[in-house]
Amino acid sequence: MNPELKRFLREQPIWYRTLARHPEKLEHMQIEMMNRYRKTIPHKVSELSQSLQLISMMLGMMGLTAKQGE
């Protein structure tokens, strides 16, 4: 089992009962785990965008960005 899934299961013990009664809800639990730990594609895109903005800002502060009109 995925270590993150184990951790989520320990942090959210309600899932023990839910999965014991409805094992078909495992996929639903995995989706909730991905949302909680920000592992979905939209979360990853957002993190990448924030990283690029930070790099752009740092380069701008250092004067390394290309100036418009030159």
- Domain membership of residue 68 (yes or no) is no
- Domain membership of residue 67 (yes or no) is no
Q: How confident is the model at residue 64 (pLDDT cuts 50, 70, 90)?
A: low
C-alpha 1: how far from chain center: 19
- Domain membership of residue 70 (yes or no) is no
- Domain membership of residue 69 (yes or no) is no
- Domain membership of residue 28 (yes or no) is yes
Q: How many domains does the chain have?
A: 1
Q: How far apart are CA 26 and CA 10, in angstroms?
A: 14
- Domain membership of residue 24 (yes or no) is yes
In which domain, by residue range, is 23 found?
3-62
pTM comes to 0.62
Q: What is the pLDDT of residues 20-45, one digit of tens each?
A: 999 999 999 999 999 998 888 988 89
Of 27, 26, 10, 8, the residue nearest 18 (C-alpha): 26
